[in-house]
Amino acid sequence: MANALTTADWTKRAGQKVARTQLFIDGKFVDAASGKTFESINPRDGSVIAQVAEGDVEDVNRAVAVAKRTFEAGVWSEMAPLDRKNVMLKWAQLIRENAEELALLETMNCGKPISDSLNVDVASCANNIQWYAETIDKLYGEIAPIPRDSIALIEREPMGVVGAVVPWNYPLIISSWKVGAALAGGNSIILKPAEQSPLSALLFAELAVRAGVPEGVFNVVNGFGPSCGGTLGKHMDVNKLAFTGSTEVGKYFLKYAAESNAKAVSLELGGKTPHVVLSDCPDLDSAASAIAWGVFYNAGQTCHAGTRMVVDQKIEDELLEKVRKVSETIMPGDTYDPSTAMGTIVDRAQFDRVNEYIGIGQAEGATIHTGGKPVEPTKGGIYIPPTIFQNVKPGMRIEKEEIFGPVLGSIRVSSEEEAVRIANDSQYGLGAALWTRDVSKAHKIARQLRAGTVWVNTFDRSSITTPFGGFKQSGTGRDRSLHSIEGYTNLKTTWIQL
């Protein structure tokens, strides 16, 4: 996507009144039943972007009732596959046509650099919706190999009403994975964005309706976690709940399901991704670049960020120096400047949390190699520069716990076995990376690493065609790829006696 706008252009546009701030239910923008609103804050300078309608139990109940009605009426679920595909393709096109507005909302809410919002977040969102659209008339059912006196059809049917609760770090990308797969599967859906990033979802949903998704099939209810998210999680008429967020909150959704209707739950949770760098790493410069970008991109607020560098002692010093040099090219800057590589931390609470962890690391005996002190490229903004810890030991809190900020820890090892043991010694298992020039070792160790994605001699390469999700407490279920549609459909067997 070409980006001809300057910092001044984006700043001017950001000063205009935000067009959509209400809830989006039944194809219309409406106030919350209580009339309540909450402030949406821009982490670039702490200013209030807008007052956003604060949904609660009554609003979620209303959105679920609407979604249930549309599902039962078959306005979407029974529309011909070709027609549903064309509607979603048009939606992808509208997302591209409205890319600048969507990108600016994402940047104002999340503190992402505008170029990333435009070229990564919005571009991926459009591609994801297009990809899910294309699946709709290409997925066939099966006929079972049973005795010839009968015929058994195996078909996929939509689950019904889907609730999706998402975090603030990639609002449009993560929402497009869930809403794209749910709608491709024929369901109706209620999306609950994070309270830090309520705005882009409203335009995303309006564009769906403008493309032809029938009113009430895709609804957005903004609001807080326990009230809005909790009501969706416990609702008796929600058949599937798709969650991305922290492991702590993910576990609540299992509880909510157990206490209500045993709804299907998929969880994409936290991570503490290790880079295992062996002494025969084929190219230390490439590794350094991948390691630095893999932890400092999005200011480290990425679930699979490569936060642990588990490195052979023979190459640690050289690699650390190279990672530091790359990190100097990823310094925080004004989020409206198209040349900025790193933006802000999402909000004050997260900023305090990351700074607290930087203090904990020092108190535990790790040493700061680079960074560690907040900077302020825009007045009132909450920015933390790339921060690298050396002398990190297994078991330290900064080695075990998800910091969710631009903080890398280097853990020095003396053997492959030790590296794999430390890499796997985590409650998380979302991603892992391995750097070696030995093909046999690459296969052997990739099999030993307990993670949903293992990268070898690269990092964070991804595609909508590959599944994404975690082992262990990084979650259950998968976003992306045809496998994700399995999470939004039920298998039905129809057995016919001939």
229 binds ligand NAD (CB under 6 A): yes
CB of 87 to ligand NAD, least distance (A): 27
Q: How far apart are the first and last CA of the chain?
A: 56
Binding ligand NAD (rule: CB under 6 A), the pick from 18, 114, 120, 249 is: 249
**How many angstroms separate the CA atoms of 33 and 474, rounded?**
36
**How many angstroms separate the CA atoms of 21 and 81, rounded?**
33
59 binds ligand NAD (CB under 6 A): no
270 binds ligand NAD (CB under 6 A): yes
What is the strand order of the sheet 161-165 is part of?
A: 28-30, 23-25, 218-220, 188-192, 161-165, 240-244, 264-268, 475-476
404 binds ligand NAD (CB under 6 A): yes
SS3 458: coil
Which residues face 495 on adjacent strands? 152
125 binds ligand NAD (CB under 6 A): no
CB of 230 to ligand NAD, least distance (A): 4
List of residues 6+ apart from 376 with CB closer than 8 A: 383
Binding ligand NAD (rule: CB under 6 A), the pick from 246, 391, 448, 476 is: 246
Binding ligand NAD (rule: CB under 6 A), the pick from 111, 186, 214, 271 is: 271
169 binds ligand NAD (CB under 6 A): yes
402 binds ligand NAD (CB under 6 A): yes
* Positive or negative torsion for Cα 343, 346, 349, 350: negative
**Residue number, 171 or 214, with CB nearest to ligand NAD:** 171
CB of 64 to ligand NAD, least distance (A): 15
DSSP string, 30-77: E--TT--EEEEEETTTTEEEEEEE-B-HHHHHHHHHHHHHHHHHTTTT
CB of 287 to ligand NAD, least distance (A): 23
Whether residue 219 contacts residue 205, with contact meaning beta carbons closer than 8 Å, is answered with: yes
Which residues face 163 on adjacent strands? 190, 241
> What burial class does residue 22 get, using C-beta atoms within 10 Å of its C-beta: 0-12 exposed, 13-18 middle, 19+ buried?
middle
Binding ligand NAD (rule: CB under 6 A), the pick from 225, 338, 374, 394 is: 225
CB of 192 to ligand NAD, least distance (A): 6
CB of 52 to ligand NAD, least distance (A): 13
Token pair in block for residue 413: 């090892």
27 binds ligand NAD (CB under 6 A): no
168 binds ligand NAD (CB under 6 A): yes
460 binds ligand NAD (CB under 6 A): no
**Residue number, 213 or 269, with CB nearest to ligand NAD:** 269
233 binds ligand NAD (CB under 6 A): yes
Interaction mask 423-452, ligand NAD, x per CB under 6 A:
-------x----------------------
The piece of 137-145, 164-172, 379-387, 435-443 that touches ligand NAD (CB under 6 A) is: 164-172
What is the strand order of the sheet 453-456 is part of?
A: 367-370, 387-390, 407-413, 308-312, 274-277, 431-435, 453-456
Binding residues for ligand NAD restricted to 299-318, rule: CB under 6 A = 303
CB of 402 to ligand NAD, least distance (A): 5
CB of 300 to ligand NAD, least distance (A): 11
212 binds ligand NAD (CB under 6 A): no
**Residue number, 4 or 262, with CB nearest to ligand NAD:** 262
230 binds ligand NAD (CB under 6 A): yes
40 binds ligand NAD (CB under 6 A): no
167 binds ligand NAD (CB under 6 A): yes
From residue 96, how far is each of 89, 116, 118, 124 by CA, in Å?
11, 15, 10, 10
CB of 84 to ligand NAD, least distance (A): 26
List of residues 6+ apart from 248 with CB closer than 8 A: none
Token pair in block for residue 267: 């969880």
As annotated, the active-site residues are 268, 303
Find the Cα–Cα–Cα–Cα dihedral 457, 126, 140, 144, rounded to 10°: 50
Binding ligand NAD (rule: CB under 6 A), the pick from 252, 357, 389, 488 is: 252
SS3 436: coil
List of residues 6+ apart from 434 with CB closer than 8 A: 275, 276, 278, 442, 445, 446, 449, 454, 455, 456, 457
Question: 97-114 b/e with 16+ CB inside 10 Å = b?
Answer: ebbbbbbbbbbbbbbbbb
Token pair in block for residue 160: 């019904």
110 binds ligand NAD (CB under 6 A): no
194 binds ligand NAD (CB under 6 A): yes
CB of 47 to ligand NAD, least distance (A): 21
171 binds ligand NAD (CB under 6 A): no
**Residue number, 415 or 462, with CB nearest to ligand NAD:** 462
Residue 331 C-beta-side C-alpha neighbours within 13 Å: 12
Residue 415 C-beta-side C-alpha neighbours within 13 Å: 3
408 binds ligand NAD (CB under 6 A): no
Residues shown for the chain: 498
Binding ligand NAD (rule: CB under 6 A), the pick from 244, 266, 378, 390 is: 244
* Residues of the shown chain interacting with ligand NAD in the complex, contacts defined by CB under 6 A: 165-169, 174, 192, 194-195, 224-226, 229-230, 233, 244-246, 249, 252, 268-271, 303, 402, 404, 430, 470, 474-475
